[in-house]
Amino acid sequence: MRSLGFWFEFASTYSYPAAMRIEAACVAAGVALEWKPFLLGPVFAAQGMTDSPFNLYPIKGRYMWRDMERLCAAQGLGWQKPGQFPRGSLLAARVASAHAQAPWVAAFVRAVYVANFAQDRDIGRTRTVTDILQEIGVDPAPVLDRAQSPEGKQSLRNLTDSAQAHGLFGAPSFTVGDELFWGGDRLDAAIAAATGCI
Amino acid sequence: MRSLGFWFEFASTYSYPAAMRIEAACVAAGVALEWKPFLLGPVFAAQGMTDSPFNLYPIKGRYMWRDMERLCAAQGLGWQKPGQFPRGSLLAARVASAHAQAPWVAAFVRAVYVANFAQDRDIGRTRTVTDILQEIGVDPAPVLDRAQSPEGKQSLRNLTDSAQAHGLFGAPSFTVGDELFWGGDRLDAAIAAATGCI
């Protein structure tokens, strides 16, 4: 059984529906799932972009907001257009990267996405991340301490470097060995690759 | 029954697998298909881009070429990375737009894509377009005359203007009424919208 790397950015709209279904999809297929939070900012900057492509190209942004409504409706997910886009994702990403092996990481990832895209909460605030940890039954203090330690910060830098080494240019992305798949629509193809079905 | 508009550009890689399966998919679903050739150049220019995003963002381009190999293999389509990208599509697009109601338009569209992406032929040359018309059993001379007449040229300009009016920013795209779907992965969603299933 091969593993599937799930590369996500908490500020990324299209990462939200992918994050909500990926664990169940991998379990159903018998594929090991690796949570790979990273930051899109440095990835976009390496391509000469200083903002989300959805802001840089408004015509594409308009499409994306409508598309998200349809995607979330089709997947039965809550949706509320966030009052700010993109939102700061640094602390939440550090929590997820420093605790990628924790038994609660999947619940945390989903809760952050729901906060950002279904509840319009500011996930960039420490208070919001603290509240989310409490809501999923995790003691926030030691988790945040480790996330903000030098090792915690380095773990996210390493993942962001690794994303670029894998040729990632957006989120969500999926990797199976050296194969890269971009976009939530490719999750099924990535799972098929992981199971040896393609 | 609602109709589905298929917006395609002959130079567009991702339009190729969509073009190869769309007619059969629409027939199976009982959806009326409208062929909508247009030029991406003016659409990209309106966003400040002077070349294909796959050339402007090489990291995205590298992904696309590998992704096309996988997509064509999965769909059982021939694939050969074209020696030139993007290729000139003006004459082929004029033929398709001026003859969008012709009984042979579907065969012509598919033959042009096969020429560009499976046979590495230069579809930008008049001779290649002429050969393709002959290969599908159509007398080239009157077809090319009409395509290059003032009315033929205007029909393609009108479609390109209409693409921008619909908010298109890439190809392939699909429209059902005012709803826009971008990318070959969304063909099934577009067909579902046309049949009232979403």
How many interchain CB pairs under 8 A, A with B?
52
B189 to A59: CB separation less than 8 angstroms, yes or no: no
B47 touches chain A (CB under 8 A): yes
How would DSSP label each residue in chain A? --EEEEEE-TT-TTHHHHHHHHHHHHHHHT-EEEEEE--HHHHHHHTT-SS-HHHHSHHHHHHHHHHHHHHHHHHT------SSSSPP-HHHHHHHHHTTTSTTHHHHHHHHHHHHHTS---TTSHHHHHHHHHHTT--HHHHHHHHTSHHHHHHHHHHHHHHHHTT--SSSEEEETTEEEESGGGHHHHHHHHTT--
Rounded distance between C-alpha atoms, residue B19 and residue B108, angstroms: 11
Coil, helix or strand for B55?
Answer: helix
Is-contact A181 A173, C-beta < 8 A? yes
Single out the residue of A45, A186, A46 nearest to residue B64, CA to CA.
A186
Does any CB of chain B come closer than 8 Å to the CB of residue A50?
no
Q: Name the residue among B142, B135, B26, B137 with its Cα closest to residue B95.
A: B142
Q: Spell out a b/e string for A42-73, using b for 16 or more CB atoms within 10 Å of the CB, else e.
A: ebbeeeebeebbbeebebbbebbeebbebbbe
Contact B63 A180 (CB under 8 A): yes
Q: Is A13 within 8 Å of A80 (Cβ atoms)?
A: no
Beta carbons of A189 and B70 less than 8 Å apart = yes
pLDDT of residue A198: 57
Write down the ipTM of this complex. 0.91
Q: Give A170's contacts in chain B (Cβ within 8 Å).
A: 60
Query: Does residue A197 register a pLDDT over 80?
Result: no
Cβ distance A59 to B167 less than 8 Å, yes or no, reads yes
* Ramachandran class of B43: left when φ > 0, alpha when ψ lies in -120 to 50, beta otherwise: alpha
Block residue for tokens 């007449």: B149
- Measured between beta carbons, the chain B residues lying within 8 angstroms of A169 are 57, 59-60, 63
Beta bridge partners of A52: none
Cβ separation A169–B66 shorter than 8 A: no
Q: Does A74 sit within 8 Å of B59, measured CB to CB?
A: no
Residue-wise pLDDT for A109-155, tens only, equals: 999 999 999 999 999 999 999 999 999 999 999 999 999 999 999 99
Residue B103 CA, distance from chain mean position = 17
- How many whole angstroms separate alpha carbon A109 and alpha carbon A132? 10
Tell me whether A188 touches chain B (CB under 8 Å): no
pTM of model > 0.90: yes
- CB of A67 within 8 Å of any CB in chain B? yes
Asked if B172 contacts B15 with a C-beta cutoff of 8 angstroms, the reply is yes
Structure tokens at A44: 């976009």
- Cβ count within 10 A of residue B66: 14
DSSP B51: S
A29-86: pLDDT as tens digits: 999 999 999 999 999 999 899 999 999 999 999 999 999 999 999 999 999 999 999 9
User: In chain B, what residues touch A189 (CB-CB under 8 Å)?
Assistant: 70, 74
pLDDT of the residue at B196: 86
Q: Which residues of B touch A63 (CB under 8 A)?
A: 167, 169, 180, 182
Question: pLDDT tens-digit profile of B62-102?
Answer: 999 999 999 999 999 999 999 999 999 999 999 999 999 99
Nearest in space to B132 (alpha carbons), one of B101, B110, B158: B110
Mean of the pLDDT values across residues B31-49?
A: 95
Q: What is the DSSP string of A156-185?
A: HHHHHHHHHHTT--SSSEEEETTEEEESGG
Q: Cα separation of B99 and B161, whole Å?
A: 18
Question: What residues of B are in contact with residue A62 (Cβ under 8 Å)?
Answer: 167
End-to-end alpha carbon distance in chain B: 14
* Residue with the two structure tokens 């799930």: A6
Q: What are phi and psi of A35, to 5 degrees?
A: -80, 125
Mean pLDDT across the stretch B22-36? 97
